[in-house]
Amino acid sequence: MIIPFLIPCIIAMFLAINMGGSGTAPSFSAIYGAGIIKKSLIPGLFGIAVFLGAILGGKETANTLGKSILAPELMSYPVVSVILFSISISLLIANLFGVPQSTSQSTVMAVTAPAVYYNTLNTHKLFYEILPTWFIMPLFAFVISYLIGKYIYKPLRRKGFTSISSFNNSLWLKSILVIMSLFVAFSIGTNNVANAVGPMASLTFNVLNVRQEYYVHVLILATLIIAPCFGIGSSLFGHSVVKNTGKEIVLFGKIEAAIIAFISASLLLTASLIKGIPTSLVQLNVGAIIGIGVAKLGYKNIFRKTAVNKFFIIWMVSPAIAFSLSYLLVFIVDNIEFQYL
């Protein structure tokens, strides 16, 4: 009983390492790009904020991924292991390319695959709540950021307010930026930790017959195991993805960094707390970055001179890999008799 239960748990920890690498960029790329924080401080701050977000606000998203797409009674040892492994591989590929990838999108696709295979897919949840959010919220991030950049930030910049040295180097401004980055990491905790915890929670209920009222205890225990792995992943992969989004897209000012962080974190937190929708923070973040970048540089420059095109390609490929690999492995495990089933 213990050995097969440890297998998906270990895979979940491996997934958390990959999520930590991918999630570091939308949290700290802005202030790293603005030169406010050293990269050595990022993993610890990121891990703490993610842990708090998962404990305080991760329940709804965990319910969505554990119960609302695939029938929870189908969350067995091999199925959960397949789901978590498929997500991990898709994110590992993105991390190796140094591109921050949506953990939530890969997770949803990996959970959707066995739901399609077993013909139990909750189409209403997927097609009417989750998928529309993926398209609408990054657009919101872009539009809000662009409007703020064009009609508020640029006029202030023309008048010289943002170039005042005492203002840009003030302690209170730097403190606000650090708080905003922690806010982003907290939002990741409310959304992305559920990618591993949701399936693991349903598996625990099925196998160990845990009563529903103890769900929060299971969530806390899983978070205590998984959250430190986010910090490990940040240490291993965080620098390259932070560098790509923080340095290669656009040269940030400190005020811009605060705008980007606040917009992306607020939208993700809204999706997590209101509907429990697994949403792409990296795409919200990059949408806000592009909005500011377009306001500063124009449409042609932001797409011609940066790595944005590579981002879009990886964003399409990784969820497709997660779905295809998950479906293939579910087909295989469904046709093989396992010793521990």
- pLDDT tens column, 66-76: 889 999 889 98
Domain membership flag for residue 339? no
Contact (CB, 8 A) for 200 and 79: no
d(CA 44, CA 41): 6
Surface-to-core class of residue 131, CB atoms within 10 Å of its CB (0-12 exposed, 13-18 middle, 19+ buried): middle
Domain membership flag for residue 225? yes
Domain membership flag for residue 42? yes
Domain membership flag for residue 296? yes
Total number of domains constituting the chain: 1
Instruction: Please give the residue that has the higher pLDDT: either 336 or 266.
Output: 266
pLDDT tier, 117 (very low <50, low <70, confident <90, very high otherwise): very high
The whole domain housing 298 covers: 2-334
- Inform me whether the pLDDT recorded for 194 exceeds 80: yes
d(CA 263, CA 327): 35
pLDDT tier, 24 (very low <50, low <70, confident <90, very high otherwise): confident
Domain membership flag for residue 222? yes
Instruction: Please give the residue that has the higher pLDDT: either 12 or 309.
Output: 12
* Residues 271-330: tens digit of each pLDDT: 999 889 999 887 887 888 889 888 877 776 666 655 566 667 777 788 889 999 999 999
DSSP string, 16-64: HHHHHHHHHHHHHHHHHHTT-S-GGGHHHHHHHHHHHHHHHH-HHHHHI
- Inform me whether the pLDDT recorded for 339 exceeds 70: no
* Residues 169-188: tens digit of each pLDDT: 778 888 888 899 899 999 99
Q: With H, G, I as helix, E, B as strand and everything else as coil, classify residue 337.
A: coil
* Residues 219-249: tens digit of each pLDDT: 777 778 887 888 888 888 766 666 655 554 4
Domain membership flag for residue 266? yes
- Inform me whether the pLDDT recorded for 63 exceeds 60: yes
Domain membership flag for residue 341? no
Domain membership flag for residue 53? yes
- Inform me whether the pLDDT recorded for 28 exceeds 60: yes
